[in-house]
Amino acid sequence: MTSRDFLTIDDFDTYGKTILVRVDLNSPMDPQGNILDDMRIRSHITTLKDLEDAKVVLLAHQSRPGKKDFTTMKPHANLMSKYLGKQVLYVDDIFGTYAKTRIASMENGEVILLENVRFYSEETLERTSKEHANTFPVKKLAPFVDIFLNDAFAVSHRSHLSVVGFTEVLPTGAGRVMEKELTALDRGLKGREKPTIFVLGGAKVDDSLQVAENVLSSGGADRVLFTGVVANVALAASGVDIGKANMDFIKSQGYADQIEKAKDILAKFKDKVGLPKDVALNDDKKRVEVPVSELNSESLPINDIGLETIVDYTSEIENAKTVILNGPAGISEVDDFALGTHEIIKAAIKSEFSIIGGGHISAEVEHLGLAHRFSHISTGGGALIDYLSGVKLPGVESLKAAAKRYQEAKTL
């Protein structure tokens, strides 16, 4: 075992073993059941290739009950087969006789994908790992399995059955996606490579402020630069009249109470927080730039940061050793208001270590063809925000607890 506080594939002899892997294949789908973005499916191929000498059983989910894309895992198995270069067999059962029989008859090198774990209603109950360990799926499947790997960082903020239940009864480690996430995010959070800059944008104001407070309090960030809606909230907190249209939007999203939180952050960490000096307003779909000092109650919707702010922010970002981007700087899906987001992305790839988090900004990175230039692109959404905010993730904590038990058992 390395100095990490969790185990990985490298800590186990996987040859000939039956390995249960919790993956995250949850993908956007069209009404016909076609997968629109297979990024998460592709992300697990490295893990599967490192388990070629084993029998691999995959557990995953798609959407949740009540949603139109709450469906079977068959399309995911087909796509995974394409990327893996061999068949990934879809098994329309989770822990019944068919699943158990199929697992028992597997040969080395085989990969099967069990049915959508959320078809079993108890999967999503928030229970402790010990409580989940006493459920039917764990009791039925565990005897057929040698090792459990959690490779689903994006759902590890949930204390769900398939995430934490098997960690109590099987030798447990992290798959390559989970290992990469934790290693990269820990490097970013600990801010070893200084200066470390967090650029927080998008529309989820409460998440961004929570992250800002954590990384500034812990010393994980030397600077936090605000963009997007969170920047508008912070500007309002600093005493700027951002205009009725922008305040109405903040209120409609339920974020009016976040202005007080932003005031606290600005008061505590004033010199470490960057706010826009100018913004781009949407005047009948046309970009109109104005200094923040000229905003007033009649101001149009703010849809991006302005050119002067872009120059200042990108200069800071380019000279940083570590950069973490989460959320776009504006309405990046509209060309006239994508400038801030695109220039920040281009600046971030010049830093020594760069992390991208958040679906919208990740999509812009892909659109610009710059994904390969980033040190790490996170697969997490809520899990990423929780981790950056200092919240302990049940999936990660259960990995650490399992590693401790494994090490203690080896020394007996």
Cβ atoms < 10 Å from Cβ of 297 = 10
Residues facing residue 55 across a β-bridge: 18
3-state secondary structure 155-192: HCCCCCHHHHHHHHCCCEEECHHHHHHHHHHHHHHHCC
- Does residue 308 have a known ligand-binding role? no
Of 234, 349, 247, nearest to 296 by C-alpha is: 247
φ, ψ of residue 18 in degrees (nearest 5): -95, 120
- Does residue 150 have a known ligand-binding role? no
- Does residue 62 have a known ligand-binding role? yes
- Does residue 64 have a known ligand-binding role? yes
- Does residue 333 have a known ligand-binding role? yes
What does each C-alpha distance from 55 to 76, 110, 144, 148 come to in angstroms?
Answer: 19, 5, 11, 12
- Does residue 176 have a known ligand-binding role? no
- Does residue 376 have a known ligand-binding role? no
Of 207, 199, 204, 261, nearest to 236 by C-alpha is: 261
Tokens coding 26: 């949850």
φ, ψ of residue 225 in degrees (nearest 5): -105, 125
- Does residue 228 have a known ligand-binding role? no
> Residue with structure tokens 């963009």?
227
- Does residue 26 have a known ligand-binding role? yes
- Does residue 319 have a known ligand-binding role? no
Q: Distance of alpha carbon 148 from its chain centroid, rounded?
A: 21
- Does residue 381 have a known ligand-binding role? no
- Does residue 192 have a known ligand-binding role? no
- Does residue 118 have a known ligand-binding role? yes
- Torsion on CA atoms 193, 199, 204, 208, rounded to nearest 10: 50
- Does residue 127 have a known ligand-binding role? no
Q: Which amino acid is at 200?
A: L
Q: Which amino acid is at 351?
A: S
- Does residue 316 have a known ligand-binding role? no
Per-position DSSP letters for 77-99, written without gaps between them: HHHHHHHHTS-EEEES-SSSHHH
Residues 226, 187, 49: CA angle, nearest 5 degrees: 115
Residues in binding site for substrate? 24-26, 40, 61-64, 118, 158
Residues in binding site? 24-26, 40, 61-64, 118, 158, 333, 358-361
Residues in binding site for ATP? 333, 358-361
Residues in binding site for (2R)-3-phosphoglycerate? 40, 118, 158
